[in-house]
Amino acid sequence: MTAQIALITGANKGIGFETARLLGREGMTVLIGARSAGLGEEAAAALGGEGIDARFVHLDVTDPATIEAAAKRIESEHGRLDVLVNNAGIAPAAGWAAPSATSVETMREVYETNVFGVVAVTNAMLPLVRRSPAGRIVNVSSGLGSLAAMSDPSGEFFPMNTLAYPSSKTAVNALTVAYAKDLADTPIKVNAADPGYCATDMNGHAGSRTPVQGATEVFLLATLDDDGPTGAFQGGGEQPGRPLSW
């Protein structure tokens, strides 16, 4: 059998890059989805230097033309897609203001990438994932998307009360459940991963976990056995793969 094919969005750095590395080490062909050709090619070359079959695919999750072109290229070159990791996400500084100080424009900007981008890419790639004998879709979420965690006065996230990024990840969790239900009669599994608070460009490298640790949560869901869960939310850092509250 030919190598499995995995597409990771936003894979030129951080958790996306480390996810590509982990999947590549398993023998998968990893497609490095990135907006920047320069950064995407550089990431693919770096992984290639480690003996990983990594290839840059131009993909901006907010640009329908690049999504369509990427799907056509994958179909032409590989004929199917075994793993889709929806990793691309943003958290602009304006989005961390108090809810009452957050503009609609900021909400639209965050949702365009973090939520609508997931729907656009998933719908475009799903015909290819259906051709896989055991497709896996992983949506990179966050503990900040857990309504249970955010509303628990004794929890670590309770003091954080911002609107854009946390609510976008709550929406990603809802998308995960909806796609899992939609695909319940197929071999495809759809799950959400919480990488935990990782040191990445998104937070100025202030996170307490490494991108590799965060990518491990994604990797576990991307490589699930046939008896693994679907429609699940897991990760968070304390124990790899632990179930989380919605």
For residues 23-60, b (16+ Cβ closer than 10 Å) or e, as one string?
Answer: bbeeebbbbbbbbeeebbbebbebbeeeebebbbbbbb
Distances (CA, A) of 146 to 86, 172, 174: 18, 10, 10
Q: Specify the pLDDT at position 196.
A: 74
> Which residue of the set 13, 169, 179, 197 is catalytic?
169
Q: Specify the pLDDT at position 207.
A: 56
Does residue 169 have an active-site annotation? yes
Q: Specify the pLDDT at position 210.
A: 78
Q: Specify the pLDDT at position 214.
A: 84
Q: Specify the pLDDT at position 197.
A: 63
> Which residue of the set 13, 165, 179, 197 is catalytic?
165
Count other Cβ atoms within 10 Å, centred on residue 70: 23
Count other Cβ atoms within 10 Å, centred on residue 72: 11
Residue 6, beta-bridge partner list: 30, 83
Q: What are the pLDDT tens digits along the chain (246 aa)?
A: 589 999 999 999 999 999 999 999 999 999 999 999 999 999 999 999 999 999 999 999 999 999 999 999 999 999 999 999 999 999 999 999 999 999 999 999 999 999 999 999 999 999 999 999 999 999 999 999 999 999 999 998 999 999 999 999 999 999 999 999 999 999 999 999 999 765 566 666 655 677 788 899 999 999 999 999 999 999 987 778 899 999
Q: Specify the pLDDT at position 34.
A: 98
CA distance linking residue 88 with residue 186, whole number of Å: 26
Strands of the sheet containing 136-140, edge to edge, are 54-58, 29-34, 5-8, 83-86, 136-140, 189-194, 233-235
CA distance linking residue 182 with residue 161, whole number of Å: 32
Q: Specify the pLDDT at position 1.
A: 54
Is this structure's pTM higher than 0.85?
A: yes
